[in-house]
Amino acid sequence: MKVAFIYSTFENIGIECISSMLKKEGHKTQLFFDPQLFDDILFSNKLLGRAFSYKNNIIKQVVKSKPDIILFSVVSADYKWACEYAKKIKQQIDTKIIFGGMHITSVPDIVIKHDFIDYIVIGEGEFAIVDLLRSIESGKPDYSIKNVWFKKDGSVIKNPVRPLIKDLDKLPYPDKELYRKHGEPFITGYTMQAVRGCPNRCTYCNHDIYKRYYSPESSTYIRERSIKNMIAELKDSYDKYKYKYIRFFDDDFLRDHKRLEEFSKGYNKEVNMPYTCIAHPDSITEEIIQWLKLSNCRQVNVGFQNVDEKIRINILNRKEKNEDAIRSIKILKKEKIRCIVDCMMGIPSSDARNMEETFKFFYNNIPTRLFMPWLQYFPRTKMCNIAQEHGIISEEKKRQIELDPYNKSIITMDKTVHNTKIMKYQTLFVSLLVSKKLAWILHKTGLYKIIPSRSALFLNIIAYMKAWSPYEHEQVRSPKRYISFMMKKVFGV
Ligand code: B12
Ligand code: SF4
């Protein structure tokens, strides 16, 4: 069958995994890619967004190509966008539309209600989609396919999930052909996720939702591709694509130190391209530095989320210590490995005092880059209940988050004076990355409280340029890429 994926902005390994399974089954797959230049969750401008929107062109192309099946992979950030596309396409052609991905797994009962969606897939999708397409192609629908929710005679058939895939080595390599046609950074950068699952249950994260479907014991929840299998894919793909660096998207690439040693030795011999990864502060120790150096690691993204241990334990359910965070920054910087830190603002019970502590903490331990995003409530995560207990969101807001998670009024929820006061610290944190002296002056004089947001944007640009690197996923926002897509939109080149 002719299968179309529609996706925006980023490379999506989930789509690549599904595509390679479908190709193996003899289906033809294609990706319709929307660069969403000025209209995504991080950067949106109404006028520019409309002027350089690819939406109508893509819808026209999809309608013209008349696929048998259209697949949407949906995280909460993309939900509204995906629904808009699906609705418009369904009005023009009669094709089956299937939604899958993290957001669908979180709120399947809400998503299935849309009449422009024919089926939804929850949890891991590889085998479910193969079974579903076989059933559709045969013309004899099998309503018992695990992981799939069907609509029949006005009611919904909700099938349970099948067990998680045990041996990831048996899966075909993700289909990288899909994205290469869409330019940088999908050509020079290679992405991989080698381990599925995480042993932790942070209250704001979607692993907690997955663990409600699947056995939470880490022995079955965490699955690792063998190092041999990873290296074989990387070598094979290098021969084909000559990529320049790799991004590992495992939730904690440095968790298993024995595995890291085995990886480093093999990787050093066979691949040795620069790479970036994500890790937990408590996984980063002096002993592993030799393996990071040997394997050509250039950047580690570390999530601290808050500098107050009580908030981390009681609100976020994170167990690491501040000394883990300090050590990670210190040793990565000493070894000249970029250390990118995430720390959230707006966490229930985080107040101006907590922001002062955060400033002091990072003043003494400046990472290469510091991201301070406002906490986002993902539907049905424990964090929604915690926020409700703290009086931050109501039952009604919780419901709204399930229906429309990226509604602006929800993201900037309850912008009380209290929150506005906290937001002001953002300027201070950015200035820290520009110059420690500047941050000190802004803090001492209190000037950071009156700096207009435009100047904060200016500081952000300087901080960004100061620590620029070719290895970051923000590459999708490189001026070169924007110009190329804008030209294509205006002149068709
Ligand atoms: C790599 C990654 C990124 C990358 C790439 C994102 C991307 N779109 O793929 C970058 C850095 C760009 C990114 C950005 C963001 N991310 Co992110 N990211 C991840 C991470 C670590 C791995 C994703 C991955 O590659 N998984 C591997 C594949 C194989 O798994 P999968 O995508 O889930 O796909 C499987 C199933 O879901 C299913 N499936 C998926 N799609 C479909 C479609 C169909 C039709 C079917 C049948 C099945 C199916 O089958 C797949 C194979 O089994 C996850 C955490 C995690 N462990 O999954 C967070 C995660 C997806 N990110 C998250 C968030 C919040 C974000 C941001 C909003 C952060 C921000 N504020 O900017 C943005 C959103 C950008 C966007 N539009 O995607 C959340 C999403 C929560 C939610 N409810 O939506 C996650 C789950 C982490 C968390 N905290 O819980 N992210
Ligand atoms: S440690 Fe990271 S990936 Fe694991 S549950 Fe917590 S936030 Fe999610």
Q: Which of 102, 200, 300, 375 to mutate to test the pocket of ligand 2 (most atoms within 8 A of CB)?
A: 200
Smallest CA-to-CA distance from 315 within 390, 376, 378 is with 390
Confidence of residue 223 (pLDDT cuts 50, 70, 90): very high
Residue 206 CA, closest ligand 2 atom number: 8
CA distance readout (Å), 42 to 77, 83, 89, 264, 476? 10, 19, 26, 35, 12
Longest dimension (CA), the chain: 73
Q: Which domain holds residue 105?
A: 2-158
Residue 424 predicted with pLDDT over 90: no
Quote the pLDDT of residue 49: 86
- The answer as to whether 142 is a domain residue is yes
Residue 136 predicted with pLDDT over 60: yes
- The answer as to whether 134 is a domain residue is yes
Residue 198 CA, closest ligand 2 atom number: 4
Q: Which of 193, 195, 207 to mutate to test the pocket of ligand 2 (most atoms within 8 A of CB)?
A: 207
Mean pLDDT, the chain, rounded, equals 92
Cα(247) to ligand 1 centroid in Å equals: 14
> Each residue of 35-63: pLDDT tens digit?
888 887 777 788 888 888 899 999 999 99
> Each residue of 283-321: pLDDT tens digit?
999 999 999 999 999 999 999 999 999 999 999 999 999
12 close to ligand 1 (CB < 6 Angstrom): yes
Cα(445) to ligand 1 centroid in Å equals: 41
CB atoms inside a 10 Å sphere around CB 275 = 24
308 close to ligand 1 (CB < 6 Angstrom): no
Residue 417 predicted with pLDDT over 60: no
367 close to ligand 1 (CB < 6 Angstrom): no
Cα(205) to ligand 2 centroid in Å equals: 6
Smallest CA-to-CA distance from 210 within 381, 377, 386 is with 381
203 close to ligand 1 (CB < 6 Angstrom): no
Cα(166) to ligand 2 centroid in Å equals: 21
Cα(201) to ligand 2 centroid in Å equals: 6
- The answer as to whether 154 is a domain residue is yes
Quote the pLDDT of residue 411: 54
Quote the pLDDT of residue 413: 54
State the total domains in the chain. Answer: 1
Smallest CA-to-CA distance from 246 within 470, 466, 464 is with 470
Average pLDDT of 426-454?
90
Instruction: Supply the residue whose CA is at minimum distance from atom 78 of ligand 1.
Output: 75
- The answer as to whether 301 is a domain residue is no
Cα(82) to ligand 1 centroid in Å equals: 14
Q: What is the 3-state secondary structure (H, E, C) of the chain?
A: CEEEEEEECCCCHHHHHHHHHHHHCCCEEEEEEECCCCECCCCECHHHHHHCCCHHHHHHHHHHHCCCEEEEECCHHHHHHHHHHHHHHHHHCCCEEEEECHHHHHCHHHHCCCCCCCEEECCCCHHHHHHHHHHHHHCCCCCCCCCEEEEECCEEEECCCCCCCCCHHHCCCCCCHHHHCCCCCCCCEEEECCEECCCCCCCCCCHHHHHHHCCCCHHHHCEECCHHHHHHHHHHHHHHHCCCEEEECCCCCCCCHHHHHHHHHHHHHHCCCCEEEEECHHHCCHHHHHHHHHCCEEEEEEEEECCCHHHHHHHHCCCCCHHHHHHHHHHHHHCCCEEEEEECECCCCCCHHHHHHHHHHHHHCCCCEEECCECCCCCCCHHHHHHHHCCCCCHHHHHHHHHCCCCHHHHCCCCCHHHHHHHCHHHHHHHHHHCHHHHHHHHHHCHHHCCCHHHHHHHHHHHHHHCCCCCCHHHHHCHHHHHHHHHHHHHCC
Quote the pLDDT of residue 384: 94
Quote the pLDDT of residue 474: 62
Q: Are strands 195-196 and 223-224 parallel, antiparallel or unpaired?
A: antiparallel
- The answer as to whether 102 is a domain residue is yes
CATH number of the CATH domain containing 47: 3.40.50.2300
Average pLDDT of 467-486?
78
What residue ranges line ligand 2, CB within 6 angstroms?
Answer: 198, 200-202, 205, 207, 251
Residue 53 burial by CB count (10 A; 0-12/13-18/19+): exposed, middle or buried?
A: middle
Cα(204) to ligand 2 centroid in Å equals: 8
Query: Among positive and negative, which fits the CA dihedral 453, 458, 464, 467?
Result: negative
| 230 CA to centre of own chain | 21
- The answer as to whether 236 is a domain residue is no
> Each residue of 140-196: pLDDT tens digit?
889 999 999 999 999 999 999 999 999 999 999 999 999 998 888 888 899 999 999
- The answer as to whether 118 is a domain residue is yes
Lowest mean pLDDT among 21-35, 213-227, 278-292, 304-318: 213-227
Residue 105 CA, closest ligand 1 atom number: 37
Pairwise CA distance, residues 189 & 245, whole Å: 5
Quote the pLDDT of residue 387: 92
Are 327 and 284 spatial neighbours (Cβ–Cβ below 8 Å)? yes
- The answer as to whether 356 is a domain residue is no
